[in-house]
Every structure is written in structure tokens, then in C-alpha cells.
Amino acid sequence: MWIVIKYKKKEQNFLFKELKEKVGKDIKIYIPKINLKYFSKKNIKNVSKPLLGDYLFCFHSKFQDPKFLNMINFLKGLKYILRDFICSQKEINFFVKRCNYYENGEGFLSQDFFNFEKNNQFQFISGPFTNMVFDLIKKENKFNLKCLIGNFKLTVAGKDNLFFPV
């Protein structure tokens, strides 16, 4: 059974260690991450960021027992466990599988993860146009996008630049 945990980022290693001690070594911990590229003073900086901020997913069969959940509720580094996760197992499982499907070889989510078929306005989160909002004109192929930034029409490599709907 999957649970969703909000954790303290500075105490993440303590939490992982204590979870493995209390639950067992066969626990699955999943944190979807994205790799952002920033241009700073003529240098490209790579930054790895968790997609969901300070939330993570844990899977183990012991999580079905409410007494066991109460026991791990006070682990160092854990803020709280989201409630009503029992009703949302189908959605959590779907989300984790979708994240795993769109991970590249390095374990980061690719741009294809973000569904941009329904929207037409996006914001770059990496690359030379970081934090700029653009209108999607056309998706030329799997890797190139025609977009409009202000009055300028551009063709951008969607493979190297991450963006999300506004």
C-alpha cells in the first residue's frame, strides 16, 4: 500500500534510515525529480529538484495496519502522513507508474511527462528562456516546438528545455 509523506528536507536521510529500520529493507521510497538547467554568468548549471517539493511516496504492505502507521508517525524528519491515502490508492499507483514511465536513464522526468495537449500557455523552467511565459503555436515533432514569446516566433528544442502549463 502506498502512503504519501511530507518530510523535512534537511532531515531526509534520517527519515530514510529510520523508515528502513522500522518497516524493513524491502520498503520502496519514490521521489520524482526533474533536472533543471540554468544559465548563470555564461555557465550552465544543472540543478536536481523534486517535482512535488517535500512530499514522497512509500510502499509497503505494513502500511495497511493503522497501529503501525501510528507507530511511524513520529519518526525524525517526518512532518506528517497524508490522510485518506487508502481511498486514493488507484490514483497514487497511476501517478507513480506514469512517473516511472517518463523517467530518462538518469532517473529524471522527461518533458513528455508534462501533458501540454490541453493548454497553450506555458512557462520555461530551464534553458535560456527560464521563467518566460510563451504561447504554444504548434508541436512540430517530438523534439521541436513553435512558440510565441511576446511578438517573437521561435522554434525551441523541447528536449533540452523544460516547461510547464501556466
Q: Verify that 91 and 125 share a domain, yes or no.
A: no
Q: Are residues 102 and 144 in the same domain?
A: no
**Helical residues (DSSP H) of 60-122, grouped into ranges:** 66-72, 89-101
How many distinct structural domains can be found in the chain? 2
Q: Are residues 93 and 141 in the same domain?
A: no
Judge contact between 24 and 60, C-beta under 8 A: yes
pTM: 0.71
Render each residue's pLDDT in the chain as its tens digit; 166 residues. Answer: 999 999 999 999 999 999 999 888 899 999 999 887 776 777 777 888 898 999 999 999 988 888 888 888 888 999 999 888 888 899 999 999 999 998 988 888 887 777 666 567 888 777 777 788 888 887 777 677 788 888 888 888 766 677 777 7
Buried b (16+ CB within 10 A) or exposed e, 44-62: eeeeeeeeeeeebbbbbeb
Residues 64 and 122 in one domain: no
CA distance 32 to 56: 8
Q: Mark whether 30 and 85 lie in a shared domain.
A: yes
> How many Cβ atoms from other residues are within 10 Å of residue 159's Cβ?
13
